[in-house]
Structures are given as structure tokens and as C-alpha cells.
Structure 1
Amino acid sequence: MPSAKTELIERIRCLDSSIEIEAVQNKTLTEREHNSIARMLRNGLAVVSFASLEDFIKKRSAEAMEDLSRCSISFSELPEKLQRAATYEVLSGLTYQLSLLEKEDKPSYIQQHALKIASTATPNFELSSHTFAHSQANISNTTIGDILKSFNVDDPWRQMSLMASNLGLTSALSLSEIFKSAALRRHKAAHVAGADIPSTDIKQFVKEAFAIAITFDALLSKAIQKLVENDDDFVRNGQKLNATSIKIRTIKRVDGKWKEYRDNINRAVRISSDLDTLQRGARQRALQAKELIVEFDENGVVSWWQCQ
């Protein structure tokens, strides 16, 4: 089964290609039928692209619960907000998910997740995959912030915005406001019959979706790493995570060469005409240094990332 990250990369890169095709571009005002079709197609892209980001948040959060279920620390040593989310707060998510199931599927579903809640009172706990982001149909900016707060991330959207800016995916704009604008655009495209979503907005969402997904994933992954490694400061002394907790390595195509960069330094640390060789080395260096590595294709679109 593909990971949440793999699915999102495929979907958002497909979105980037889709917005370039002739069928979604307006022609002259006299081409009324074509323009009407293009408008409907753009509205559909706006809906599906935002749904892809929501799906990533849900699936990545579920993966996080699986990762934590394999860690060696006791449930009582998890962050307090995470403990609450995995016990009684998860009930709202289970109640909503039950409402979507067929009658015959409800008993086994609730039994499965009730066992996981009960396991939090044992040494070998298993957290519900529906702990986060499953209590309603859509995800809000508050949902994303609350997930990261449960993992001791300080002021999550601010940290995500700082990282996105360092990656060159967004300017100084708040990612929280960007997410809310994208949600409103999705709502308009889905529910307003005469909506006309500009192609430029959809094109911009390619960078915005990657910015939100990568920074969310990086902070979540770093928190999980510290819990799995039983980091004393993080687990017992209340250490918070922020943007400076994560070192960044990137690969970009610049002036006809593939270049490797670290953090927000403009000078490349390595240059090569062979992408494969540079990738292998950079990924290994990022793994050893426990860094976030983000790779961009020749057009400057994210092609891959990994959080250590």
C-alpha cells in the first residue's frame, strides 16, 4: 500500500501537469463552450487537489499512530495532549466514522478501536489510526495545529510557515491563512454553480500543498523520532519542537547543474551533472544527520522528500 507521502506527491504533481493542458485554459471570449468546459474542469481540480491534501493529513496521522505503537516508552510518558487524544477524545472520531458505515460493519469497527483504547492501560499499547482528523468530513487549520500541538510542537503554523519560507515554497505569508484560503476556494468550487477558479490559483496551490504537507510531516516525524529514541529532554522535560529543530537539505537544478544545499545558505555544498549520484549521496548524508531532505525537479516542482 503506498504511503501517504507517495500518494500526495503523485497527486499534486499530476495537478501541476493538468493545469497546463489546453482543456483547462480559457480561449477567446467567442469560444464560449470551450471556456465553460474549462471552468468546470478547473473547479473540479480545485476540489480534488484540496481533498488530496486533506487525505494526506488523515493518512499521515494514522501512520504516526502506527509508528508510536511500536515505540518502547510507556503510554504515560507520551505528551499529555497525545494521551488525551488517544483515549477519550478519539471517541468523537469513532462516532463520526460509525455514522458512515453500514449497520453490519459497525460492531467489528467499534470493537477493533475499543480494544486499542483499552490497550493504552497496558505496557504494549496500540493507538487507534483514527485518533486524529477523523471526527468530521473536512479538515480545518485548527485540526492540523492541534495534531502537532499533541506532539509538543510550539506554535505549529508559525513553525510550518518559517520552514516553508526557508524551502522557497512560500513567501512570508502564514501557511494557516493559505490553508484557509484554499479551503474557501474548494468550498466555492464545490457549492457555487457559477464559480470560476483561476488557473493561476490552482497552479499556486501546487507549491502551497507541498509546503503544508512537507512541513507538517517534518515536525510530526521529528517528534516521533524523539519519542521512539526515548529522548530524555523531549519525553520527560517538556522540550518543545520548532523550526530550528529541523535541519534542511535540498537538491535543485540551477544553471544547468544539480546542486545540493543545506539550510538557508545560498551557496551549494555539492554540484553535479549526474542527478542519481548526487541524490544517493545527499540522501545518505541527510539520513546520517537526521535532516529533512527535499528534492525539486528541473522545473522547480517538489519530486520527493524524506524526514529523518
Structure 2
Amino acid sequence: MRRGVVGALLALVLTGCASTVVPAGPGGGPTGGGDAAQRRAAEVSAAWPGSAQEKVWRSGYFPVDVPAEWLPKEAFHSGEDKDAYQSGRLVLAGGLPQTFSGLTQVRWADGSQLTLPLRSADAVFRSLTEGRPGCNGRCEHPLKVTGAEPGTREVSTSRGRAEIPVWRFRVAGYTDPFTYPAVEGQQPPSAPAKEVPGARGAAFLSVSADGRTLTATVAHGSCERVERTEAYETEAAVVLYVLVRSTAKPGTACSLAMHLSPEQFRLARPLDNRVVLDLATGVPQLPKGDLSRGQDGGQ
């Protein structure tokens, strides 16, 4: 899989093309002051240290941008091979390892470990062959899986680097294995959202090499613009939010479509091990990179 976290997005439409008319009246300013947002950010940050959510976050397995697969560098030898793989036309030409305890361990560099359910080799194989789209080329050209063996791979998590179990599938004609995680990430803590008038939270995307600039996406309407980005910082946490200004003139019809735009947030000091918390819910955020497919040699 690719290991970079996406640092920018194209603005994209999330909803339909209906429109509403902005009523006449005083306009121009942000949809609310920054004081309410700052108070909310302070509340969220103060509640984090020692909370049940923090304990879950610090003790669980929450992977950062871990892909669903690591394809070998030589993939694919032909268009037919690629089409066969993408359409799930894999045939089992050898046995798969059988699992017994159904449990496995994730191990961190500090020596800590966590026992989690093991994703069996059979479950991985079924995920590759079931529910896939039909073939686009030579449908009689399947890929042959000759077997699989267990292995490990180092990945990024909310707690730093960790070693996770993987399955390395051998495919006829390919020297290097097709590799898949043998454990799934846990669900992050959740909490009800609290609306903050005049402010929007931001979805954490990436952090710069020096740790002092965060990129996050912000939802806004077609007749709005981001007026100001803010990063509320404490020793333990960072909360990102923006103030939005209406650009609509009285009587103007504005599309109801929402857009996502990337924004940058400059920190007073590097992020380091501090957690990025959501303004509305107070729950921690992981960088939202490309979690789909990668190709860095699954060995």
C-alpha cells in the first residue's frame, strides 16, 4: 500500500443541486463569533486527560492509514492479470493455513501488546473473491493462489509504530507475495456531537514533516468561505476549527450542495504525541489518508 497521507483534496460536492434563497437583512460577518468555538475547544481539551475515551485511545489498536493490501512491486504482469484480480477471479490451487485459537497480538516498540481477533487466511481469500465486479477482459484468465503463510509488518498507529500479523499469499507467476493484514483496527471512541454556532470543526488529514502545520478538510456551503482557521492547543491535545463567512447577497439563490476544502492550521509547537480532537464530539481523530490500495512490495 501507499504510505503517504493525502495532504490536499479537490473540493467536492457532497449533496444535490437544490437551492435556497438567502433572506434579506444584515449580512457579511462570520456566522458566529469565535468566543463560543474557543470555549468549546477549551472544554473538549480539558475533558480529555484522564477520561475513559483517553484510556481506550491509549490502550487500543487504531491504525493510521494502514492499507487493505500490499501488492508486490511487479503487480501486474498484464492487463488480464489486473482485471482478474480486481474482479475477484482467483482460484485456490493449494491449501490455506488453518487457525485454531482465533486470536493474535499487535506489538508496539515499547514492548506493550494487545490481543485481538485473528482474521483468518480463509476470510482474507473470501474477501478477495466475493462481491467483486464482473470481468472486463478475458474472463477465462484467473489468478491461481498456491498458498499463504503468516508474517508480520510494521505499521503506524495512534500509539506509534507497531508490528501486526499479516497473511502473505503466493500467486502463481509472481515472485513476491500479495500481503494482507491479519487483524483489523478497533473502532475509535464515540460521543454525541454538540453544535457550535458560527464554527465548523475540521477533519484531520495530515501533518507536515516538522509537525507544526496540520492539513484538514472543512465543509462549507456554496455561498460561504472560510474566514479564519484556528488551532486550540494544550499540552495534551489540539482542536481544529474554522469561522465561516457568508458570501451571499440578500435575495441570492445558493446551492444546498456542501463542499470540502483543504485548510492549513499552524501550530505554536510541533504536534508530537498530542491528540487531535474533534470540536463537535471531543473524540480523537486519525489522519484521513488513502486507505484503499497500495504498492510498496508486500514482504
TM-score (norm 1): 0.28
TM-score (norm 2): 0.29
Higher helix share: 1
Higher strand share: 2
Larger Rg: 2
